[in-house]
Chains A and B, each alone.
Chain A
Amino acid sequence: MKRILPLLLLAALLAACAPQGPVTLTVMTHDSFAASDTVIQAFEKANNVKVAFLKSGDAGAELNKAILTKDAPLADVMYGTDNTFLSRALDAGILQPYASPLLAKIPAEFKLDPQDRLLPVDYGDVCINYDKAYFSSHNLAVPATLEDLFKPEYKGLLVVENPATSSTGLTFLLATVKHFGSPDYIGYWKNLRQNGLVVVDGWETAYYTNFSGSSGHGPQPMVVSYASSPAAEVVGASTPLTESPIGTILGPDTCFRQIEFVGVLQGSKHLALAQKFVDFMLDKQFQEDMPLQMYVYPVNPEAVLPDAFVKYAQIPTQPARLSPADIAAGRDQWIADWTAAVLH
């Protein structure tokens, strides 16, 4: 039995070194990445290439891995870095510029890197979702602003994610930083805490265990999630629904816009193919596939939204924004101060 180990190792080495048929293009993504089989196959066929996806944890873990393996990169293309991590990725020098011809179609508000090392692919808004049934059966008005949330009638009704462990939680923290400014946002969070704020580790727990509007039927009727969640509840329902059971609070700065980017990694051995894949992600076919796969919005205005998105999801008109440079400069301190104010 001892002989199995060297054999396995040998097999692994051979598998790693042996030349294969078509070239393999490796795309590093976060764990939430999804795409239709047919769409990916179309790219593979058109370019005689095999696309391998390397899922590498959440967006933060993925970026750190890319930075750590800078001198022997794991992939050719990296997708999934968002505007909260953009500066860390650019400062690390792991990406090479690529001015894709498709950038011309994309609105300027999404293009945050003037050197085109990270190109926008999709966006979404982190917002507060509410359970419609709870508010109607309790004859309670849905809060309209961030300030409403610490009114006594909403005591103990909101669950948020810890910004230190969840990107959703961090993004919502940024909305409050934008709205109240630093250091006033801390006072706001202290008010929320006194009003029975519930904090959990991540989106899965918040949405499925604590939120009353989803399958877990938890105790809180308001959760920090996404503006697309109402549409997702309809698409992912086990019985056909004609109306979403949850809604989104769309007030000033109650939502924060998250933009996700793609880039070509330094040291890619298939530069031309990697650039083609970036073009492909910005083009109509992939952009139209994304909404129902990842519940995000396409940045390319040519892409037609699926019915469910048009009917059940709302786009906030005035989402909060902060520049990547401001986020990079403040995030560690904001998380630390938040932890001290809310958890200790």
Chain B
Amino acid sequence: MQDQIQKTVENRISESASLRFADSLIRRIWFWLPISLFLAVFFFYPLARILWLGLNPAAPLKLAPASLLVSRDAVFFTFYQASLSTLLTLAVGLPAAFLFARFDFHGKVFLRLLTAIPFMLPTVVVAAGFNAFLGPRGWVNLGLMNLFHLSTAPIPFVGTLGAILMAHVFYNTTIVIRLVGNALAHLDPRLEQAARTLGADSPQVLRRLLLPLLRPSILAAALLVFIFDFTSFGVILLLGGPAFSTLEVVIYLQAIQFFNLPLAALLSLFQLLCTLTFSVLYSRVVIRMAVTSAPRSAESNLRRPRARSEKLFVAVSCLFCFLFFVFPLLSLPMRSVTRLEADRGERAGVHYGLTIDYYRELFINRRETVFYVPPFAAIGNSLVYAAVTVILSLALGFPAASALARPGRLERLIDPLLMLPLGASAVTLGLGFIVTFNRPPLALLASPVLVPLAHTLIALPFVIRSLQPALASIPDRLRQAAASLGASPLHVWAAVDWPIVARATLGAAVFAFTVSLGEFGATSLVVRPEYPTLPIAIARFLSQPGGLNYGQAMAMATILMVVCGAGILSIEKLRLPGAGEF
């Protein structure tokens, strides 16, 4: 009798446990369904098709010893420059994240905005900016040449490893500032106060409290930065010059120039496997480190610098950010209003003059070309694509990030796969799109939807990595308390989850927005000529000779910077209903 009761109870318990498990598994599958479908159709399927075309046993693999040697060198250089770039980006980004998360000072909003703008600038424009600043005829070199009466430029920049590293840091610092800064801003200040009460000094607080608490976000930022640098293409070609080549560059050459698809596919596969390995390592480490704390509003961590050391830190960091981010950026708007031509053909010297002609010319289809892009149309196209990307990537990323915040076995499996779109070779994926979407039922090449879909693919990892830590930081006891007070699940979500993640959602939206505005590689592969984006319009001007074309490209780039800055500001200023100050 006793035994039987015992058994029935045990049965009931295990039944309800398995029921609960099944219930949660079904719920989890719902969370994963939209993003899985999306990635399957727009990422894994096209990629599989092109890799299959390349690695098909029917097509013989052309592996000349020379190309193997080049590939080996490229693999080595890819790892080398990506590691160096990531370390440097962290070295610049972590103090900047601390600066923006902890201190309040004049011009902070503006300075923070400027650090975000490089992320979306097309490589051609960034290269032009760096050249105007540090190139052989840039301000720095010309200034030094005048000062010391030198006949050649004293600072070599273009074509050096330094140029590659500097451009990577310039591009990616905003990832560190946003991901780490966000985590830092929402740490419970009482932890630090308690540590100080117990006698810890600043280095001890940093080493034993802040760094361990921030490790997940630092690693997440480092992973994203590393993958971005690992697959670098435009920066290597434009600023590094022909002497440097990464895997992505070799893949491009093999696929496009030599039409050696088998080798290109093999290298793409290798690049994907590397990305997968980094992501698996990362998620292993991060899942072990998850810490929940009572998140605080960002304002409670903010203060004006008081001590002398703090003032010095703020002053030096601001100066550095200003020099590093503002100067290369400034050269573009300046160039867009400067005329550098003499009246007659003989240009003995360079004549400077101010002009707004380049902006005025943007509105005139002087050559009556069929591909003329009115500037407002390009802005409109870019904004529509960006808006669709923001909505789509949040709609797909939110459920995924929610599931990842409470990871089970399923999540541990899926998590690393989400990073793959960033690590895939853009050239290979572009060819994959071409061979997949050229026929019904997915004849999308003829429609403009492919552009925001491609942008969403790239934005998703950023959206998920921004949302996941915020969602994971919510302590379960807050939800339980709300539920025990009689709140429905939806009410719990609105009262507990949403106020805490609302700001992270805006951060994720900013990432998606900037990715979409600046994206060039995938866009140029799938864009319809009748709906060009701003970066495409810039590239069109730069592809023809003549001072007018160059000036208009700089004017378009300036417009892109302004549109992006205004977009980021207005997203950050959004007051979401029911959102707390988190």
Q: Do A and B come from one complex?
A: yes
Interface residues of A (CB under 8 A from B): 1-2, 4-5, 8-9, 11-13, 15-17, 26, 31-38, 40, 52-55, 57-58, 60-61, 64-65, 67-69, 72-74, 88, 131-133, 136-137, 162, 164-165, 199-205, 207-209, 213-219, 225, 229, 232-233, 235-239, 241-245, 292-293, 295, 332, 335-336, 339-340, 343
B14-60 contacts to A, CB under 8 A, are 34, 38, 53
CA gap between A13 and B443 in the complex, in Å: 7
Which residues of the other chain, B, contact A8 by a CB distance below 8 angstroms?
388, 392, 449
Q: Is the CB of A238 within 8 A of B341?
A: yes
Q: Is B3 an interface residue (CB 8 A)?
A: no
Q: Is the CB of B551 within 8 A of A238?
A: yes
Other-chain contact of A343, B153, B243, B447 (Cβ < 8 Å)? B243
CA gap between A162 and B369 in the complex, in Å: 30
CA gap between A191 and B243 in the complex, in Å: 18
Q: Is the CB of A239 within 8 A of B542?
A: no
Which residues of the other chain, A, contact B369 by a CB distance below 8 angstroms?
34-37, 293
Our count of residue pairs bridging A and B at CB distance below 8 angstroms stands at: 222
Name the segment of B81-89, B251-259, B290-298, B465-473 touching the other chain. B251-259
Q: Is the CB of A165 within 8 A of B242?
A: yes
**CB within 8 Å for A236 and B370 given contacts A133-B348, A199-B241, A217-B350:** no
Interface residues of B (CB under 8 A from A): 34, 38, 53, 64, 66-67, 70, 124, 127-128, 131, 135-137, 153, 158, 237-238, 241-243, 252-253, 255-259, 339-341, 343-348, 350, 355, 357-358, 361, 365, 367-372, 388, 391-392, 394-396, 399, 431, 434-435, 438-447, 449, 524-525, 527, 529-530, 539-540, 542-551
Other-chain contact of B544, A35, A53, A137, A295 (Cβ < 8 Å)? A295
CA gap between A115 and B225 in the complex, in Å: 52
With A13-B442, A218-B136 given, name 5 new contacts (CB 8 A). Answer: A64-B255, A164-B242, A236-B547, A238-B339, A238-B355
Which residues of the other chain, A, contact B242 by a CB distance below 8 angstroms?
162, 164-165, 199-201, 343
**CB within 8 Å for A64 and B256 given contacts A232-B545, A236-B548, A245-B345:** yes
Residue of A nearest to B445 (CB): A74
- Chain B CB count within 10 A is highest, among A131, A208, A229, for A208
Which residues of the other chain, B, contact A218 by a CB distance below 8 angstroms?
135-137
Which residues of the other chain, B, contact A31 by a CB distance below 8 angstroms?
524, 539-540, 543
Q: Is the CB of B367 within 8 A of A5?
A: no
Q: Is the CB of A214 within 8 A of B370?
A: no
Which residues of the other chain, B, contact A1 by a CB distance below 8 angstroms?
391, 394-395
Which residues of the other chain, B, contact A229 by a CB distance below 8 angstroms?
545
Q: Is the CB of B441 within 8 A of A13?
A: yes
**CB within 8 Å for A208 and B542 given contacts A1-B395, A199-B242, A244-B345:** yes
CA gap between A203 and B237 in the complex, in Å: 12
Which residues of the other chain, B, contact A292 by a CB distance below 8 angstroms?
367
Which residues of the other chain, B, contact A58 by a CB distance below 8 angstroms?
256
CA gap between A136 and B202 in the complex, in Å: 65
CA gap between A309 and B403 in the complex, in Å: 65
- Chain B CB count within 10 A is highest, among A53, A68, A133, for A68
Q: Is the CB of A232 within 8 A of B340?
A: no
Q: List 14 A-B contacts (CB under 8 A).
A: A5-B392, A17-B443, A32-B543, A35-B370, A52-B446, A57-B525, A65-B431, A68-B434, A200-B241, A209-B158, A216-B137, A218-B136, A237-B341, A295-B544
The 4 A-B residue pairs with the shortest CB-CB distance in the complex, in nearest-first order = A236-B546, A243-B345, A215-B550, A1-B395
**CB within 8 Å for A238 and B548 given contacts A4-B392, A16-B440, A68-B53:** yes
Closest beta carbon of chain A to B23's beta carbon, Å: 20
Q: Is the CB of A68 within 8 A of B431?
A: yes
Closest beta carbon of chain B to A332's beta carbon, Å: 6
- Chain A CB count within 10 A is highest, among B347, B530, B542, for B347
